[in-house]
Structure 1
């Protein structure tokens, strides 16, 4: 066994079942080892998820701007963002099989390099030599390629925690990997980068993240597992993929958790796609909606951190999750209400901060609880099914929210901040507010707010597909209602058996012993 300098050492006895499974004789002493290299593995996996989220969130924070740049409708831009929700519906299952069958390192190598290929195609779509009719299909193709491997970075969260971390750090590990760092940063900086540097610069910058991710995975991720397991459950092993799928689909409590976590997180993802549309018709700038989503994800990291530390210590997974979802639904109901009222920036930010803290704190706990509820099914299997339903329900609710949109009122047409290019005055020639490549947010373009006038929309010669935004007040109320339904249903109907915790109690080391920290 290869270890670094040991901080503390002790031994533990595996049960007869575990000793036989590992090929050891009955009663043989083994060490549960927690390696310092786990932090490098955690960083690599977290960074890959961060870079994937940056690719995903390149469009929705500035949907109207990107629609103008690619000469398409906002609905077509939403399709680009939805690629990271539609394709993972099927590829989450593939990612689960890949992780459970071949391990962490091969799966991450495939994911990191394929994501880089998708990012390069996005950059190519902005090049001067690219025919205008090809630009949008090429960027959509690049986005789709990156989306096919995104589930690998999401599904592996609980597997990293189980295989590399001890019982007292598993929830913390899951929280670190699953936190929305990329969503936070992309929502904050994407509109600003496009405004001052252009779309091409933004794509090139964001392509640097998967490049670095591919390199550190190739040279830093040397193995899928540590030489010695960090906990009794990791030593005991899990079921193979296909038997695990059959067993988990018969687990009623897991099905309830899967559907309801999918509902809440799917709504969260849908909101990230349509947030700008929801707010701009009520007079809020795209930069403000980007700030709202960025702050929401950013503060959520702190909420998730404290909640993960709490459940690692208390093991009150179910109770904590139910409380967080109830608080989350209350916060989002208030947020949706005040977002329908113009000039309510401060209340929107306050309620949004509360929603981000509670919703983001609940997510890693839900992932750990899925493992507890389905043990001894492999972590990749349970996590993959959860993510599959998150994306499925996210896509469904995105289309439902869009379908519930209504034509803008006259007041909204005057005060909306959605359409970025309008004529100076009625009867004049159409004058774009954009300067630079292709008369839009281009390679060196920026938006000149002095030409902006929200009184009417237009279709210029080169921008024939720009459509009028819609009022999404009804959609926002339905969103809040679904969040409240999810919290009530989970509180009433879900009961976790904490199977992994109970199994580990029968495999605990003798009193006074602990695992090796190497």
Structure 2
């Protein structure tokens, strides 16, 4: 009897071959299923890169916060005790106001080379340069205590002001380089928190350390103590930054950061792209108005408070402290809201509109005769006005991505300084010519204009889109 032959199936295979192929296919599918299950358990996607954040990111952020604070605390170091400086050094109040405005004047021409340096050399080099300048300026002030050396103190203030160009545009850049997509807004708000912390200390410490009613010798000793404290702090911080601050983590923390770092950045081309971006131009104007109003009030707060509360030098400093501390809380809360909701346009508009309300309440309670009421209205004003700072930074990063964050925030801050100079000079003139009520109402009207401009910005969230596409 002849041997049985296997029948041929439709695929051209014998039954035996077909059974063998079926077993192989089942084994392959089972292997794929097991591998897929393991990959899921490990939370690994074989088709996408894994992005890792490093614990050292918090140390880098802490270094920056302290560095930023050491610079910004010197911003109002003279103006918050303006009456004492005028009496001790024999200079005009206008000259004292310029110790604050020099921060704004020096920033505008220097921010472009500073932004270029940040994009080319990274965070470490620019942070070391800024910390060194902050330290050097503080030591020049130590030498300026004699009454005929105010010019040397002003020189030191100018050196510190120049160093600021390596600080103000860093928070969004540092957040993008070190932090993951779900923490970048919070990290940026904490970075801005450092600047606000310094301003708060600048409002608080000088009125406490320098006695308004002391003798010339006592005031000289008070100035010496204040200047030595700041110089010592900035020196220690400079050494820590040189030893431990790093430019970037070993690997990118997010898809957006990975894509941004892989793009070749042409500085001039970036500026051209930014200045032809409609949303960014509108944000420049609205952000400049808001922060410019804050600069004007901060610079002339001592004069403003003493008009209605003579002798309340320490209260003037504490009111400034309240404004900034409330803003620090607002900054962190707004950063958390942005990370949770990613509603940048809505959050920016809401905070801006609330700043108008806070300014109106501050205007009509300033002359109440009850200093406690001024403290309360200052809390509301500060929470929204200074809480707006990181919100504007992050919104700018969204509508301009993938342009470098340092360049984006650098131009943003340059416009802020211009608005700050103009509004401070205007506010100072109006206080003398028209009084505080009409001066403050003018600022309210400007903030209302800024709210309308903010409403016209489109919600073009490019960084979020890149993250989702990745």
TM-score interval (norm. to shorter): 0.7 to 0.9
Instruction: Provide the residue aligned with 1:235 in structure 2.
Output: 258
Q: Find the counterpart in structure 1 of residue 171 from structure 2.
A: 157
Q: Does 1:216 align with 2:232?
A: no
Q: Verify: 1:73 aligned to 2:37, yes or no.
A: no
**1:160-171 alignment, distance < 5 Å:** 160-171=174-185
TM (norm. structure 1) is 0.77
Is the Cα–Cα contact under 8 Å of residues 282 and 453 in structure 2 kept in the other structure?
Answer: no
Aligned to 1:303: 330
Show the 5 A alignment for 1:87-106.
87-106=106-125
1:36 aligns to what?
55
Tell me by how many angstroms 1:70 deviates.
1.4
**Aligned equivalents of 2:313 and 2:305: distance in 1?**
8
Unaligned runs of 5+ in 1: 1-7, 14-26, 408-469, 508-518
Q: Do the aligned residues in 2 keep the contact of 1:95 with 1:155 (CA within 8 Å)?
A: no
- What do the CA deviations read for 1:218-273 (whole angstroms, capped 9, x no partner)? 0111x311110000011112433221111111101100001110110111011110
Which runs of structure 2 are paired with 1:229-378 in the superposition (5 Å)? 229-237=252-260, 238=263, 239-284=265-310, 285-339=312-366, 341-378=367-404
Which of these residues, 461, 466, 470, is aligned with residue 498 of structure 1?
461
Gaps of 5+ in 2: 1-40, 212-217
Question: Does the residue aligned with 1:323 lie in a helix, a strand or coil?
Answer: helix
Rounded Cα–Cα distance in structure 2 between residues aligned with 1:177 and 1:483 = 25
Q: CA deviation at 1:353?
A: 0.5
Query: 2:210 matched to 1:194?
Result: yes
How many residue pairs end up in the alignment?
416
1:486 paired residue number: 450
State the 1:502 CA deviation.
0.7
Alpha-carbon contact 2:348-2:454 (below 8 Å) kept: no
Q: Distance in 2 between matches of 1:78 and 1:320?
A: 34
Q: Equivalents in 2 of 1:212, 1:488: separation in Å?
A: 45
Asked whether the equivalents of residues 129 and 166 of structure 2 are also in contact (C-alpha less than 8 Å), the reply is no
Q: CA RMSD in A?
A: 1.8
Pair 1:115–1:244, CA change in 2 (3 A): same
Deviation for aligned residue 1:203 = 1.1
Say whether 1:381 aligns with 2:395: no
Residue 9 to residue 111, structure 1, CA distance change in 2 (3 Å): farther
* Aligned-partner SS, 2:247: coil
Q: Could you state the TM-score of these two structures normalised by the residue count of structure 2? A: 0.85
Superposed displacement of residue 92, structure 1: 2.1
The corresponding residue for 2:73 is 54
Query: Greater Rg, structure 1 or structure 2?
Result: 2
Whole-Å separation in 2 of the counterparts to 1:215 and 1:11:
41
Matched, 1:139 2:153: yes
- Greater length-normalized contact order (CA 8 Å, ≥ 6 residues apart): 1
Partner residue, 1:204: 228
- Residue 416 of structure 1 corresponds to which residue in structure 2? none
Give the equivalent residue in structure 1 for 2:104. 85
User: Once the 2 structures are TM-superposed, how far is the Cα of residue 126 of structure 1 from its aligned partner?
Assistant: 0.9
Within 1, Cα distance between the matches of 2:321 and 2:87?
23
